[in-house]
């Protein structure tokens, strides 16, 4: 094997354009040996000239790319990388040479530890026990360690715990990273030192023969206003037609270069682990949900008993799954959906709660295709968030979120309303992009502009709070709320809607004030429990039915407590004798016009 110094290999990175290469079979699951540092002194300063000749871990194959929609990736000069590793008993040394035509540095003046920061970065995930098999609440992730490397002025390394949703900055003695840019060659180098005690579980030491699993992902941001990466390239992303989030490569610490002479050392097989929840269990959950059906709570009995105790048990089970699903994974799934990273989305949906969501969306699609009686709207709770409102002639969406929405709901989505446009878990950019570029365009109603691929933010039409407009698809809408004295709008917007020959609807967002609700009658209200004035709003409006929003969702925003099933039942009790309804993911309910 011919070895090249890292800085030489980096300058010649991706001489062949993978985009012009023929389609090839999936790549093998990668394995790599890590040589000892020996007497070589490594100064963590962002230059690689002091590194010895090493084999490279390559991330320069088109099969390893995620995120190519709408021209997000334009070849290896846009996003590709090689990685190098060295070890000694105290530290693991890592270096990366990343080809990138435009490097996006950290936006914020201070490092944010509530979310993965918006910046070009390298993310390292270590699985010492080699037992991680999926994302979500996989117990194999308990000892995993993930590190975020980016151009951070303090040269600090961030250790993320995606399973628990926490992060911390490593002490300088335990971790250091330096990032340098070569604008002439479009090359960014990352060099870092990580203490083994931060990577390995307590009591475990690094020594020759140690094997652990590893994932390397390079996040590439190519838009200055986009809070999500447009392209990602991963070490194991080329292994199959979908990107399995539980599939990591393996590295072995070796004693010397003898491991490179001829035969590569035999890697031990990954340990057997207890199987994840079988797909059949999710099908059984759906079957038990379908046996119950939603029921209106009218105050005659406890809301837990609406629909029967069997339904109560099923709803508790669904809510438990949503509560246990890690917040960072939930946000990451939405991000991959927004930027059309289809292979990663497919891998995330292959098992667990995302798999169940996908099945429930298929059920909504089938039910939405059924005829709807005149004078009626059919309200569907979309599994990952938002609502589909079917009318006798079409329909529209409110805060539609999740994957494959355009493929499943297009026939009923004549326009879309966003009540919380800046929250990425309350919208689907790919659906909105298709609507806005359709011929003729379909209306997307938002009161705040946000980044949407291909669409200029300055060209995005905005709804003015306090005004009436329409009728898109014959529906008359009024945006509730008002601007502040300095002309700013609240982060959420509420709406009144009047369907021709149908019921009068109202969406209550988290910031609506009681004085802004108006006096017109309402047949059905979809209300966010996050509105602190909701009880007063309900008393003022006195709708025929209140349908509770924000139910059966995972935690989304950092520091914001999720709405639990217990919270929803308490709210229903507080609203008595107001009639209220709780819909599970994928369920629907007919709302007729008043007689």
- Please report, for the domain that includes residue 397, its CATH number: 3.60.15.10
Q: Please tell me whether residues 361 and 253 are part of one structural domain.
A: no
* Alpha carbon distance 157, 95 (integer Å): 14
Q: Rounded to the nearest 10 degrees, how much is the dihedral formed by the CA atoms of 561, 562, 566, 568?
A: 110
CATH of the domain at 150: 2.60.40.1190
Q: Please tell me whether residues 193 and 324 are part of one structural domain.
A: no
Neighbouring C-beta atoms of residue 565, cutoff 10 Å: 21
Per-residue pLDDT of the chain (595 residues; tens, 9 = 90+): 334 455 545 545 544 454 455 567 999 999 999 999 999 999 999 999 999 999 999 999 999 999 888 788 888 889 999 999 999 999 999 999 999 988 888 876 656 777 778 899 999 999 999 999 999 999 999 999 999 999 888 899 999 888 888 889 999 999 999 999 998 889 999 999 999 999 999 999 999 999 999 999 999 998 888 999 999 999 999 999 999 999 999 999 999 988 777 677 899 999 998 777 788 899 999 999 999 999 999 999 999 999 999 999 999 999 999 999 999 999 999 999 999 999 999 999 999 999 999 999 999 999 999 999 999 999 999 999 999 999 999 999 999 999 999 999 999 999 999 999 999 999 999 999 999 999 999 999 999 999 999 888 988 999 999 999 888 999 999 999 988 888 899 999 999 999 999 999 999 999 999 999 999 999 999 999 999 999 999 999 999 999 999 999 999 988 899 999 999 999 999 999 999 999 999 999 999 999 7
Q: What is the DSSP secondary-structure string of 379-420?
A: EEE-TTS-EEEEETTEEEEES--SSSHHHHHGGG-SEEE-SS
Taking the model in full, what pTM does it have? 0.94
- Return contacts of 285-290, CB within 8 angstroms, 24+ apart: 285/314, 285/317, 285/318, 285/356, 286/356, 286/359, 286/360, 286/363, 288/314, 289/314, 289/318, 289/584, 289/586, 289/587
Asked if residue 489 is part of any domain, the answer here is: yes
Asked if residue 267 is part of any domain, the answer here is: no
Q: Please tell me whether residues 334 and 215 are part of one structural domain.
A: no
Radius of gyration of the chain (CA): 26
Angle at 157 between CA 89 and CA 98, to 5 degrees: 95
Q: Please tell me whether residues 236 and 356 are part of one structural domain.
A: no
Helix (H) or strand (E) holding 566: helix 565-575
End-to-end CA distance of the chain: 82
Q: Please tell me whether residues 344 and 254 are part of one structural domain.
A: no
Q: Please tell me whether residues 347 and 490 are part of one structural domain.
A: yes
Predicted confidence at residue 108, as pLDDT, reads: 63
Helix (H) or strand (E) holding 345: helix 342-348
The residue to which tokens 């020959």 are assigned: 501
Q: Please tell me whether residues 401 and 482 are part of one structural domain.
A: yes
Q: Please tell me whether residues 196 and 247 are part of one structural domain.
A: yes
Q: What is the DSSP letter of 306?
A: T
Asked if residue 269 is part of any domain, the answer here is: no
Beta strand extents in 257-316 (DSSP E only) = none
Helix (H) or strand (E) holding 505: strand 504-508
Q: Please tell me whether residues 238 and 286 are part of one structural domain.
A: no
Asked if residue 148 is part of any domain, the answer here is: yes
Structural contact between residues 133 and 273, judged by C-beta atoms closer than 8 angstroms: yes
Structural contact between residues 523 and 595, judged by C-beta atoms closer than 8 angstroms: no
Predicted confidence at residue 17, as pLDDT, reads: 52
Asked if residue 268 is part of any domain, the answer here is: no
Number of domains in the chain: 2
For residue 171 the two structure tokens come to 């002490």
Q: In which domain, by residue range, is 172 found?
A: 6-260
Asked if residue 181 is part of any domain, the answer here is: yes
State residue 313 phi and psi, 5-degree precision. -65, -40
Q: Please tell me whether residues 287 and 246 are part of one structural domain.
A: no
Residue 112's contacts (CB-CB under 8 Å, 6 or more residues apart) are none
State residue 18 phi and psi, 5-degree precision. -60, -25
Asked if residue 270 is part of any domain, the answer here is: no
Asked if residue 547 is part of any domain, the answer here is: yes
Q: Please tell me whether residues 243 and 287 are part of one structural domain.
A: no
Q: Please tell me whether residues 361 and 503 are part of one structural domain.
A: yes
* Alpha carbon distance 247, 336 (integer Å): 17
* Alpha carbon distance 226, 429 (integer Å): 12
């Amino acid at each position: 094997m011919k070895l090249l110094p890292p800085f030489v290999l980096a300058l010649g990175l991706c001489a062949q354009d993978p985009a012009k290469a023929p389609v090839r079979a999936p790549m093998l699951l990668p394995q790599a040996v890590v040589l000892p540092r020996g007497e070589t002194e490594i100064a963590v300063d962002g230059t690689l000239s002091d590194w010895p000749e090493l084999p490279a871990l390559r991330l320069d194959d088109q099969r390893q790319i995620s995120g190519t929609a709408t021209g997000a990736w334009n070849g290896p000069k846009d996003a590709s990388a090689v990685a190098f590793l060295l070890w000694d008993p105290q530290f693991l040394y890592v270096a990366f040479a990343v080809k990138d035509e435009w490097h996006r540095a950290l936006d914020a003046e201070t490092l944010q530890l509530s979310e993965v920061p918006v910046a070009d970065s390298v993310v390292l995930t270590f699985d010492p026990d080699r037992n991680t098999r999926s994302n979500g609440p996989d117990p194999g992730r308990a000892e995993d360690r993930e590190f975020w490397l980016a151009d951070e002025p303090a040269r600090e390394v961030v250790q993320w715990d995606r399973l628990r949703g926490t992060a911390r900055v490593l002490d300088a003695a335990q971790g250091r990273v330096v990032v340098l840019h070569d604008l002439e060659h479009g090359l960014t180098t990352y060099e870092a030192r990580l203490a083994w005690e931060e990577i390995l579980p307590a009591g475990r030491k690094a020594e020759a023969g140690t094997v652990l699993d590893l994932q390397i992902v390079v996040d590439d941001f190519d838009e200055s206003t986009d809070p999500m990466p447009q392209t990602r390239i991963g070490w194991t992303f080329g292994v199959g037609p979908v990107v399995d989030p539980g599939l990591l490569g393996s590295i072995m610490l070796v004693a010397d270069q003898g491991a490179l002479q001829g035969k590569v050392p035999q890697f031990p097989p990954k340990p057997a682990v207890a199987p994840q929840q079988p797909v059949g269990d999710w099908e059984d959950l759906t079957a038990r949900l379908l046996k119950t059906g939603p029921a209106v709570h009218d105050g005659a009995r406890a809301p837990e008993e609406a629909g029967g105790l069997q339904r109560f048990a099923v709803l508790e089970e669904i809510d438990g799954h949503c509560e246990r699903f890690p917040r960072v994974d939930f946000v990451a799934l939405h991000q991959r959906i927004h930027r059309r990273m289809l292979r990663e989305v497919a891998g995330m949906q292959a098992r667990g709660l995302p798999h169940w969501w996908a099945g429930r969306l298929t059920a909504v699609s089938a039910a939405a295709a059924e005829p709807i009686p005149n004078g009626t709207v059919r309200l569907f709770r979309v599994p990952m968030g938002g609502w589909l409102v079917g009318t006798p002639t079409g329909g529209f969406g409110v805060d539609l979120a999740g994957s494959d929405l355009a493929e499943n709901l297009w026939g009923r989505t004549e326009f879309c309303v966003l009540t919380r446009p800046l929250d990425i878990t309350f919208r689907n950019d790919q659906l909105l992009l298709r609507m806005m570029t359709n011929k003729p365009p379909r209306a997307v109603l938002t009161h705040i502009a946000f980044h949407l691929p291909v669409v200029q933010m300055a060209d995005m039409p905005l709804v003015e709070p306090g005004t009436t407009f329409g009728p898109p698809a014959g529906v008359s809408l009024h945006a509730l709320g008002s601007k502040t004295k300095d002309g700013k709008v609240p982060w959420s917007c509420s709406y009144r809607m009047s369907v021709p020959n149908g019921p009068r609807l109202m969406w209550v967002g988290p910031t609506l004030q009681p004085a802004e609700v108006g006096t017109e009658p309402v047949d059905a209200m979809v209300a966010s429990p996050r509105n602190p004035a909701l009880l007063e709003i309900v008393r003022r409006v006195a709708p025929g039915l209140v349908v509770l929003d924000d139910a059966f969702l995972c935690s989304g925003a950092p520091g914001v407590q999720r709405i639990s099933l217990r919270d929803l039942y308490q709210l229903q009790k507080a609203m008595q004798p107001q009639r209220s309804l709780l819909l599970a993911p994928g369920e629907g309910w007919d709302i007729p016009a008043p007689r």
